[in-house]
Amino acid sequence: MNAIPQAATLTPDDAAPASRGRWIVAEVEALYQLPLMDLIFRAQQVHRQHFDANEIQRSTLLSVKTGGCSEDCGYCSQAARYHTETERESLLPLDEVVAAAQAAKDRGASRFCMGAAWRGPKDRDLEKVTEMIRAVKGLGLQTCVTLGMLKDGQADQLKEAGLDYYNHNLDTDASFYGQVITTHKHADRIDTLGQVREAGIMVCSGGIIGMGESRRNRAALITQLANLDPPPESVPINNLVPIPGTPLANVAPIDHFEFVRTIAAARITMPRSFVRLSAGRQEMSEELQALCFLAGANSIFYGDKLLTTGNPEADRDETLFAKLGLRPI
C-alpha cells in the first residue's frame, strides 16, 4: 500500500517543528499543496487528537452598536464613508442585549458575542459594555466582545467585568493588509491582541478569505495566527460576503475547495483551537459545510444574523446537524 504523501519539511506531529517551535509560510503553503484527500485526512487526525469530532461549539453574535465606524475596512458595510444599506445606530440598551442573550441560550448557544462598530471604545462606552458583560455572564453564557482597538487599561476593565474572549481578527496577512485597510496598520491589531493576553482574556482572532488575496497571503495569515504565543483559542474563518457599496463588492468568490484547504491548514497548525465557520456560511451548501467540519471546523455562529450579514437560521442548522450526527458542546 502506498504511503500517504507528506508535505515537504513538515513533521508528522500536529505541532510546529520542534527545532523552532514556529511555523513558516513555506510549510503552510506545502499543506495547501497536498492532495485534498490527504490534507483532510491529516486535519481530521489532528482534530480527533484534541476534540470530539462530532461536537460543534455554537456562538451567537449581536451587534450592540451598528454603523458609523470611522475606519475604511474594504469589506465592511459599517464604515461611515461607504454608501451601504447599513444605518448608523446607537448602543443598544442593556435589557435588549440581555433578552437577545437569553434567546441565544434557549436556542443552544454556549457563547454570546457582542460587537460594536468603533475604531476603539471610549471610556464612557466601555462602562456600558462592561454592564452588558456582567449581565450576560449572569445568564450562564461565555462572553465575547469585539470593540476595535483597545487603549491601555481597557483590557483590564473587561477582564474585571468577567469577559471570557476578546475578538480582534487579523483579517489578512501583513503584506496584503494595506490593500484592504489604510486607516490603521496590521501591527495595531497585534498590539490589541497583546493587551488582551496580558489582561488574562482568551483570544478570538482569525481572518477573511476571498478578498482578492493570493494563496501565499492565505498561508501567511494562518502562519501569523499559529505563531501567536499562544495561538488564539478561537479562530473564525470568514468567507467574504461582498456588500454593495464597499470596495470589495465585486471581488470574485473564492473556490470552495480553497476555502476547505484554509480550514484544514488552520486545524493542523492550531490543533487545540476552536476553528469557527463564520461569515459566508449562509451561502454554503450543506455539502460544503460538512466538508469544512471534516477538515476540522468545530464551531459556528448560530442564529439568523451576524453583525450585519445573514446567517443560516437555527432550524436549518438543527436539520443539518441531525443529518451529520453532530452534537452541541
Contact 220, 29 (CB under 8 A): no
Answer with the residue of higher pLDDT: 84 or 189. 189
Residue indicated by cell numbers 450592540: 64
Over the stretch 166-213, which tens digit does the pLDDT of each residue have? 999 999 999 999 999 999 899 999 999 999 999 999 999 999 999 999
Active site includes 276? yes
Q: What are phi and psi of 234, to 5 degrees?
A: -125, 135
Over the stretch 85-114, which tens digit does the pLDDT of each residue have? 666 678 899 999 999 999 989 888 899 999
Q: What span, in angstroms and rounded, lies between the C-alpha atoms of 304 and 100?
A: 12
Over the stretch 240-250, which tens digit does the pLDDT of each residue have? 988 888 888 89
Q: What span, in angstroms and rounded, lies between the C-alpha atoms of 17 and 29?
A: 15
Active site includes 292? no
DSSP reduced 3-state for 61: strand
Residue from 58, 76, 189, 218 carrying the catalytic annotation: 76
Q: What are phi and psi of 82, to 5 degrees?
A: -100, 150
Q: Which of 135-139, 234-238, 300-304 has the lowest mean pLDDT?
A: 300-304
Nearest residue to 75 (alpha-carbon basis) of 209, 203, 221, 223: 209
Contact 290, 325 (CB under 8 A): no
* Domain 34-322 in CATH 2.60.120.1030: no
Active site includes 113? yes
- pLDDT at position 11 is 42
Residue from 42, 58, 73, 281 carrying the catalytic annotation: 73
Neighbours of 234 (CB within 10 A): 24
Contact 115, 91 (CB under 8 A): no
Is residue 14 over pLDDT 60?
no
DSSP 106-154: HTT-SEEEEEE--SS--HHHHHHHHHHHHHHHTTT-EEEEE-SSPPTTH
- pLDDT at position 12 is 38
Predicted TM-score (pTM) of this structure: 0.88
